[in-house]
Amino acid sequence: MGKQSLWQSAMTYIAMISLQLGYSGMHVIVLLSLKKGFSHWVFVVYRHAVATMVFAPFAFFFERKVRPKLTKMTFLKIMGLALLEPVIDQNLYGVALQYTSAAFAAAMMNVLPAITFILAVIFRMEKVNLKKAYSLAMVIGTVLTASGAMVMTLFKGPAFNIFPHSHAFSLHAAAGEASRSHWIPGTIMMLGTVTGWAGFFILQKNTLKDYPAEMSLTALVCLMGTVEGGAVAVVMERRPSAWAIGFDTRLLAATYSGIICSGIAYYLQSVVNRSRGPVFVTAFSPLSMILTAVLGAIVLAEKIYLGSLIGAFIIVFGLYSVVWGKSKQKSDSEVLPIMVENKNSAEAPGKETVEMKGNNDLQP
Protein backbone atom coordinates (compact mmCIF):
# COMPACT_ATOMS: atom_id res chain seq x y z
CA MET A 1 0.00 0.00 0.00
CA GLY A 2 2.91 2.29 0.81
CA LYS A 3 4.48 1.66 -2.59
CA GLN A 4 1.16 2.32 -4.33
CA SER A 5 0.73 5.61 -2.45
CA LEU A 6 4.29 6.62 -3.33
CA TRP A 7 3.69 5.76 -6.99
CA GLN A 8 0.49 7.81 -7.07
CA SER A 9 2.28 10.76 -5.49
CA ALA A 10 5.11 10.50 -8.04
CA MET A 11 2.65 10.33 -10.93
CA THR A 12 0.91 13.44 -9.59
CA TYR A 13 4.16 15.42 -9.66
CA ILE A 14 5.08 14.07 -13.11
CA ALA A 15 1.67 15.07 -14.48
CA MET A 16 1.92 18.63 -13.13
CA ILE A 17 5.48 19.09 -14.41
CA SER A 18 4.55 17.70 -17.83
CA LEU A 19 1.71 20.22 -18.06
CA GLN A 20 4.21 23.05 -17.57
CA LEU A 21 6.21 21.69 -20.50
CA GLY A 22 3.02 21.84 -22.55
CA TYR A 23 2.23 25.39 -21.43
CA SER A 24 5.73 26.61 -22.27
CA GLY A 25 5.32 25.43 -25.86
CA MET A 26 1.87 27.01 -26.05
CA HIS A 27 3.17 30.45 -25.01
CA VAL A 28 5.56 30.52 -27.97
CA ILE A 29 3.32 28.87 -30.60
CA VAL A 30 0.31 31.07 -29.81
CA LEU A 31 2.37 34.27 -29.77
CA LEU A 32 3.83 33.33 -33.15
CA SER A 33 0.39 32.72 -34.66
CA LEU A 34 -1.08 35.90 -33.15
CA LYS A 35 1.71 38.03 -34.60
CA LYS A 36 0.98 36.46 -37.98
CA GLY A 37 -2.58 37.77 -37.82
CA PHE A 38 -4.54 35.05 -36.03
CA SER A 39 -7.39 36.60 -34.03
CA HIS A 40 -7.27 35.53 -30.40
CA TRP A 41 -11.08 35.67 -30.27
CA VAL A 42 -11.28 33.07 -33.03
CA PHE A 43 -8.37 31.12 -31.56
CA VAL A 44 -10.27 30.49 -28.32
CA VAL A 45 -13.24 29.08 -30.28
CA TYR A 46 -11.14 26.76 -32.46
CA ARG A 47 -9.05 25.66 -29.51
CA HIS A 48 -12.00 24.41 -27.51
CA ALA A 49 -13.77 23.03 -30.55
CA VAL A 50 -10.73 20.80 -31.14
CA ALA A 51 -10.66 19.79 -27.46
CA THR A 52 -14.38 18.95 -27.51
CA MET A 53 -14.12 16.80 -30.64
CA VAL A 54 -11.13 14.89 -29.26
CA PHE A 55 -12.26 14.30 -25.66
CA ALA A 56 -16.05 14.00 -25.90
CA PRO A 57 -15.92 10.43 -27.35
CA PHE A 58 -13.51 9.31 -24.60
CA ALA A 59 -15.75 10.82 -21.92
CA PHE A 60 -18.85 9.19 -23.40
CA PHE A 61 -17.43 5.67 -23.52
CA PHE A 62 -15.09 5.55 -20.50
CA GLU A 63 -17.35 7.24 -17.95
CA ARG A 64 -20.73 5.80 -18.90
CA LYS A 65 -21.07 3.92 -15.61
CA VAL A 66 -19.60 6.53 -13.26
CA ARG A 67 -20.99 9.73 -14.76
CA PRO A 68 -23.64 11.24 -12.42
CA LYS A 69 -26.83 12.93 -13.53
CA LEU A 70 -26.29 16.47 -14.82
CA THR A 71 -28.41 18.71 -12.59
CA LYS A 72 -29.38 22.30 -13.32
CA MET A 73 -27.01 23.64 -10.64
CA THR A 74 -24.10 21.58 -11.98
CA PHE A 75 -24.80 22.83 -15.50
CA LEU A 76 -24.73 26.43 -14.25
CA LYS A 77 -21.38 25.74 -12.60
CA ILE A 78 -20.05 24.32 -15.87
CA MET A 79 -21.19 27.47 -17.66
CA GLY A 80 -19.33 29.47 -15.01
CA LEU A 81 -16.19 27.38 -15.53
CA ALA A 82 -16.37 27.99 -19.28
CA LEU A 83 -16.81 31.71 -18.70
CA LEU A 84 -13.89 32.02 -16.28
CA GLU A 85 -11.22 30.04 -18.13
CA PRO A 86 -11.93 29.68 -21.87
CA VAL A 87 -13.66 33.06 -22.31
CA ILE A 88 -12.32 35.59 -19.77
CA ASP A 89 -8.92 34.09 -19.02
CA GLN A 90 -7.85 33.13 -22.52
CA ASN A 91 -9.21 36.19 -24.34
CA LEU A 92 -7.52 38.55 -21.91
CA TYR A 93 -4.40 36.43 -22.27
CA GLY A 94 -4.52 36.81 -26.06
CA VAL A 95 -4.65 40.62 -25.82
CA ALA A 96 -2.04 40.85 -23.08
CA LEU A 97 0.35 38.52 -24.91
CA GLN A 98 0.49 40.91 -27.87
CA TYR A 99 1.23 43.82 -25.52
CA THR A 100 4.02 42.08 -23.57
CA SER A 101 6.10 39.00 -24.43
CA ALA A 102 6.02 35.23 -24.12
CA ALA A 103 8.51 35.24 -21.23
CA PHE A 104 6.61 37.96 -19.36
CA ALA A 105 3.30 36.14 -19.84
CA ALA A 106 4.77 32.95 -18.38
CA ALA A 107 6.37 34.89 -15.51
CA MET A 108 3.06 36.51 -14.57
CA MET A 109 1.59 33.04 -14.22
CA ASN A 110 3.65 32.81 -11.01
CA VAL A 111 1.06 35.04 -9.35
CA LEU A 112 -1.50 32.27 -9.90
CA PRO A 113 -0.75 30.30 -6.67
CA ALA A 114 -0.96 33.47 -4.57
CA ILE A 115 -4.30 34.57 -6.02
CA THR A 116 -5.60 31.01 -5.77
CA PHE A 117 -4.58 30.92 -2.12
CA ILE A 118 -6.37 34.21 -1.42
CA LEU A 119 -9.55 33.00 -3.12
CA ALA A 120 -9.31 29.65 -1.30
CA VAL A 121 -9.18 31.50 2.03
CA ILE A 122 -12.13 33.69 1.05
CA PHE A 123 -14.22 30.65 0.08
CA ARG A 124 -13.05 28.73 3.18
CA MET A 125 -11.13 26.07 1.30
CA GLU A 126 -8.01 27.11 3.23
CA LYS A 127 -7.70 28.22 6.85
CA VAL A 128 -5.19 30.81 8.08
CA ASN A 129 -3.82 30.71 11.63
CA LEU A 130 -0.88 33.09 12.02
CA LYS A 131 0.20 31.25 15.18
CA LYS A 132 1.14 28.32 12.97
CA ALA A 133 4.40 28.42 11.02
CA TYR A 134 2.84 27.00 7.86
CA SER A 135 0.09 29.63 7.80
CA LEU A 136 2.63 32.41 8.31
CA ALA A 137 4.75 30.99 5.49
CA MET A 138 1.76 30.92 3.12
CA VAL A 139 0.83 34.53 3.94
CA ILE A 140 4.41 35.81 3.57
CA GLY A 141 4.78 33.85 0.34
CA THR A 142 1.60 35.38 -1.02
CA VAL A 143 2.85 38.91 -0.28
CA LEU A 144 6.26 38.17 -1.84
CA THR A 145 4.69 36.71 -4.97
CA ALA A 146 2.54 39.81 -5.49
CA SER A 147 5.57 42.05 -4.79
CA GLY A 148 7.64 40.21 -7.38
CA ALA A 149 4.91 40.75 -9.96
CA MET A 150 4.96 44.49 -9.20
CA VAL A 151 8.75 44.57 -9.65
CA MET A 152 8.41 42.93 -13.05
CA THR A 153 5.77 45.49 -13.99
CA LEU A 154 7.32 48.74 -12.77
CA PHE A 155 11.04 48.02 -13.25
CA LYS A 156 12.55 46.81 -16.52
CA GLY A 157 16.22 47.80 -16.45
CA PRO A 158 18.75 46.78 -19.08
CA ALA A 159 17.90 44.08 -21.60
CA PHE A 160 19.77 40.84 -22.07
CA ASN A 161 19.85 39.03 -25.38
CA ILE A 162 20.63 35.49 -24.29
CA PHE A 163 20.91 34.14 -27.85
CA PRO A 164 22.34 37.01 -29.92
CA HIS A 165 22.53 34.89 -33.08
CA SER A 166 18.82 33.94 -33.02
CA HIS A 167 17.45 36.36 -35.60
CA ALA A 168 15.13 34.04 -37.49
CA PHE A 169 12.11 35.94 -36.20
CA SER A 170 13.56 39.39 -35.65
CA LEU A 171 10.41 40.91 -37.13
CA HIS A 172 8.37 39.51 -34.28
CA ALA A 173 10.89 40.72 -31.76
CA ALA A 174 10.57 44.17 -33.23
CA ALA A 175 6.82 43.94 -32.98
CA GLY A 176 7.19 43.03 -29.32
CA GLU A 177 9.38 46.08 -28.77
CA ALA A 178 6.84 48.30 -30.52
CA SER A 179 4.25 47.37 -27.92
CA ARG A 180 6.32 48.59 -24.96
CA SER A 181 3.98 51.59 -24.60
CA HIS A 182 1.22 49.10 -23.79
CA TRP A 183 3.24 47.29 -21.13
CA ILE A 184 1.14 48.51 -18.15
CA PRO A 185 -2.27 47.77 -19.78
CA GLY A 186 -0.91 44.41 -20.85
CA THR A 187 0.13 43.67 -17.28
CA ILE A 188 -3.31 44.60 -15.94
CA MET A 189 -4.92 42.28 -18.48
CA MET A 190 -2.50 39.52 -17.52
CA LEU A 191 -3.48 39.93 -13.87
CA GLY A 192 -7.13 39.64 -14.95
CA THR A 193 -6.16 36.48 -16.79
CA VAL A 194 -4.58 34.96 -13.70
CA THR A 195 -7.54 35.95 -11.50
CA GLY A 196 -9.97 34.27 -13.89
CA TRP A 197 -7.79 31.16 -13.96
CA ALA A 198 -7.59 31.03 -10.16
CA GLY A 199 -11.37 31.38 -9.94
CA PHE A 200 -11.66 28.50 -12.40
CA PHE A 201 -9.74 26.16 -10.07
CA ILE A 202 -11.82 27.21 -7.05
CA LEU A 203 -15.09 26.57 -8.89
CA GLN A 204 -13.70 23.36 -10.39
CA LYS A 205 -12.98 21.99 -6.91
CA ASN A 206 -16.53 22.81 -5.84
CA THR A 207 -18.09 21.32 -9.00
CA LEU A 208 -16.21 18.03 -8.62
CA LYS A 209 -18.02 17.40 -5.33
CA ASP A 210 -21.32 17.16 -7.19
CA TYR A 211 -20.00 15.88 -10.52
CA PRO A 212 -17.01 13.55 -9.86
CA ALA A 213 -16.44 12.59 -13.51
CA GLU A 214 -13.30 14.41 -14.56
CA MET A 215 -13.25 13.50 -18.24
CA SER A 216 -16.93 14.32 -18.75
CA LEU A 217 -16.48 17.60 -16.91
CA THR A 218 -13.55 18.41 -19.19
CA ALA A 219 -15.59 17.71 -22.34
CA LEU A 220 -18.54 19.78 -21.10
CA VAL A 221 -16.35 22.74 -20.14
CA CYS A 222 -14.69 22.67 -23.57
CA LEU A 223 -18.10 22.44 -25.27
CA MET A 224 -19.50 25.40 -23.34
CA GLY A 225 -16.23 27.26 -23.90
CA THR A 226 -16.74 26.82 -27.64
CA VAL A 227 -20.32 28.10 -27.45
CA GLU A 228 -19.66 31.05 -25.13
CA GLY A 229 -16.37 31.93 -26.83
CA GLY A 230 -18.08 31.75 -30.20
CA ALA A 231 -20.73 34.23 -29.09
CA VAL A 232 -18.03 36.64 -27.91
CA ALA A 233 -15.97 36.16 -31.08
CA VAL A 234 -18.93 36.91 -33.36
CA VAL A 235 -19.38 40.25 -31.59
CA MET A 236 -15.70 41.20 -31.28
CA GLU A 237 -14.35 39.88 -34.59
CA ARG A 238 -16.27 41.16 -37.63
CA ARG A 239 -13.72 40.20 -40.33
CA PRO A 240 -14.75 37.02 -42.20
CA SER A 241 -11.11 36.44 -43.13
CA ALA A 242 -10.23 36.07 -39.43
CA TRP A 243 -12.08 32.76 -39.35
CA ALA A 244 -10.04 31.31 -42.24
CA ILE A 245 -7.66 28.53 -41.25
CA GLY A 246 -5.31 26.31 -43.22
CA PHE A 247 -2.27 24.13 -42.71
CA ASP A 248 -0.30 26.88 -41.00
CA THR A 249 0.52 28.27 -37.56
CA ARG A 250 -3.19 28.90 -36.93
CA LEU A 251 -4.04 25.23 -37.21
CA LEU A 252 -0.96 24.29 -35.18
CA ALA A 253 -1.86 26.73 -32.39
CA ALA A 254 -5.51 25.62 -32.23
CA THR A 255 -4.69 21.89 -32.34
CA TYR A 256 -1.76 22.00 -29.91
CA SER A 257 -3.53 24.25 -27.39
CA GLY A 258 -6.83 22.39 -27.71
CA ILE A 259 -5.43 18.93 -27.09
CA ILE A 260 -2.59 19.67 -24.69
CA CYS A 261 -3.55 22.85 -22.83
CA SER A 262 -7.32 22.49 -22.74
CA GLY A 263 -8.29 18.82 -22.97
CA ILE A 264 -5.40 17.06 -21.23
CA ALA A 265 -4.73 20.00 -18.89
CA TYR A 266 -8.35 20.34 -17.70
CA TYR A 267 -8.56 16.60 -17.10
CA LEU A 268 -5.28 16.21 -15.17
CA GLN A 269 -5.90 19.37 -13.18
CA SER A 270 -9.38 18.19 -12.19
CA VAL A 271 -8.00 14.83 -11.03
CA VAL A 272 -5.30 16.47 -8.93
CA ASN A 273 -7.59 19.29 -7.78
CA ARG A 274 -10.10 16.78 -6.46
CA SER A 275 -7.51 15.05 -4.26
CA ARG A 276 -4.92 17.77 -3.48
CA GLY A 277 -6.81 21.04 -3.82
CA PRO A 278 -6.42 24.15 -6.04
CA VAL A 279 -3.35 25.58 -4.28
CA PHE A 280 -1.32 22.43 -5.02
CA VAL A 281 -2.44 22.39 -8.67
CA THR A 282 -1.15 25.93 -9.22
CA ALA A 283 2.18 25.40 -7.44
CA PHE A 284 4.16 24.40 -10.53
CA SER A 285 3.80 27.53 -12.70
CA PRO A 286 7.44 28.77 -12.26
CA LEU A 287 8.64 25.87 -14.43
CA SER A 288 6.68 27.30 -17.35
CA MET A 289 8.38 30.67 -16.85
CA ILE A 290 11.88 29.19 -17.15
CA LEU A 291 11.09 27.02 -20.16
CA THR A 292 9.20 29.77 -21.98
CA ALA A 293 11.97 32.31 -21.45
CA VAL A 294 14.41 29.96 -23.15
CA LEU A 295 12.03 29.10 -26.01
CA GLY A 296 11.09 32.76 -26.48
CA ALA A 297 14.74 33.76 -26.70
CA ILE A 298 15.51 31.03 -29.24
CA VAL A 299 12.41 31.10 -31.44
CA LEU A 300 11.18 34.69 -31.15
CA ALA A 301 14.53 36.42 -30.45
CA GLU A 302 13.01 38.05 -27.37
CA LYS A 303 15.11 39.90 -24.82
CA ILE A 304 14.96 39.33 -21.08
CA TYR A 305 15.05 42.41 -18.85
CA LEU A 306 16.78 42.77 -15.49
CA GLY A 307 13.49 43.67 -13.80
CA SER A 308 11.99 40.41 -15.04
CA LEU A 309 14.89 38.44 -13.57
CA ILE A 310 14.70 40.16 -10.17
CA GLY A 311 10.92 39.94 -10.04
CA ALA A 312 10.99 36.30 -11.10
CA PHE A 313 13.44 35.47 -8.29
CA ILE A 314 11.16 37.13 -5.71
CA ILE A 315 8.11 35.37 -7.15
CA VAL A 316 9.74 31.93 -7.08
CA PHE A 317 10.94 32.45 -3.49
CA GLY A 318 7.48 33.55 -2.41
CA LEU A 319 5.83 30.74 -4.32
CA TYR A 320 7.81 27.99 -2.65
CA SER A 321 7.17 29.60 0.71
CA VAL A 322 3.48 29.03 -0.05
CA VAL A 323 4.16 25.46 -1.23
CA TRP A 324 6.20 24.65 1.90
CA GLY A 325 3.42 25.99 4.11
CA LYS A 326 0.84 23.95 2.19
CA SER A 327 2.84 20.72 2.51
CA LYS A 328 3.47 21.34 6.23
CA GLN A 329 -0.23 21.96 6.76
CA LYS A 330 -1.07 18.69 4.99
CA SER A 331 1.41 16.69 7.09
CA ASP A 332 0.06 18.20 10.33
CA SER A 333 -3.52 17.44 9.34
CA GLU A 334 -2.53 13.82 8.70
CA VAL A 335 -0.65 13.45 12.01
CA LEU A 336 -3.48 14.82 14.19
CA PRO A 337 -6.03 12.02 13.45
CA ILE A 338 -3.30 9.42 14.09
CA MET A 339 -2.50 10.99 17.48
CA VAL A 340 -6.18 11.00 18.44
CA GLU A 341 -6.55 7.38 17.34
CA ASN A 342 -3.49 6.32 19.35
CA LYS A 343 -4.83 8.16 22.39
CA ASN A 344 -8.17 6.39 22.12
CA SER A 345 -6.40 3.05 21.70
CA ALA A 346 -4.34 3.69 24.82
CA GLU A 347 -7.44 4.53 26.85
CA ALA A 348 -9.42 1.52 25.63
CA PRO A 349 -7.59 -1.22 27.68
CA GLY A 350 -8.13 0.70 30.92
CA LYS A 351 -11.82 0.95 30.16
CA GLU A 352 -12.01 -2.78 29.49
CA THR A 353 -10.21 -3.48 32.80
CA VAL A 354 -12.73 -1.44 34.74
CA GLU A 355 -15.60 -3.23 33.05
CA MET A 356 -14.09 -6.65 33.79
CA LYS A 357 -13.50 -5.68 37.38
CA GLY A 358 -17.09 -4.61 37.75
CA ASN A 359 -18.26 -7.90 36.29
CA ASN A 360 -16.07 -9.86 38.72
CA ASP A 361 -17.55 -7.97 41.65
CA LEU A 362 -20.99 -9.17 40.64
CA GLN A 363 -19.90 -12.80 40.72
CA PRO A 364 -20.53 -14.76 43.98
324's CB contacts (< 8 A; 6+ apart) are 134, 137, 141
Question: Between these two residues, 264 and 315, which has the higher pLDDT value?
Answer: 264
pLDDT value of residue 55 = 95
User: Who wins on pLDDT, 120 or 316?
Assistant: 120
Alpha-carbon distance of 28 to 36, in angstroms, equals: 13
Lowest mean pLDDT among 103-117, 175-189, 349-363: 349-363
Mean pLDDT for the chain overall = 80
Q: How far apart are CA 154 and CA 151, in angstroms?
A: 5
| pLDDT number for residue 6 | 78
What confidence score (pLDDT) does residue 358 get? 47
- Return the top range by mean pLDDT from 11-25, 74-88, 266-280: 74-88
Q: Residue 181: how many CB atoms within 10 A of its CB? A: 9
The predicted model scores a pTM of: 0.77
Task: Answer yes or no: are the C-beta atoms of 298 and 166 closer than 8 Å.
Answer: yes
Over residues 126-166, the pLDDT tens digits come to: 777 788 888 888 888 878 877 877 777 677 788 776 555 54
pLDDT class of 259 with cuts at 50, 70, 90:
very high
pLDDT band at 44 (very low <50, low <70, confident <90, very high): very high
What is the pLDDT at residue 363? 46
Highest mean pLDDT among 20-24, 27-31, 108-112, 269-273: 269-273
Exposure string for 112-140, b = 16+ CB within 10 A, e = fewer? bbbbbbbbbbeeebbeeeeeeebbebbbe
- Range name among 82-96, 107-121, 308-322, 339-353 with the lowest pLDDT average: 339-353
Q: Specify the amino acid at residue 350.
A: G
Q: Which amino acid is at 109?
A: M
Of 25-34, 64-73, 296-305, 348-357, give the lowest mean pLDDT range: 348-357
Q: What is the pLDDT of residues 191-232, one digit of tens each?
A: 889 999 999 999 999 999 999 999 999 999 999 999 999 999
Q: Is the distance from CB of 256 to CB of 29 less than 8 angstroms?
A: yes
Report the Cα 273 to chain-centroid distance in Å: 10
Lowest mean pLDDT of 20-24, 146-150, 307-311, 336-340, name the range.
Answer: 336-340
pLDDT of residue 352: 45
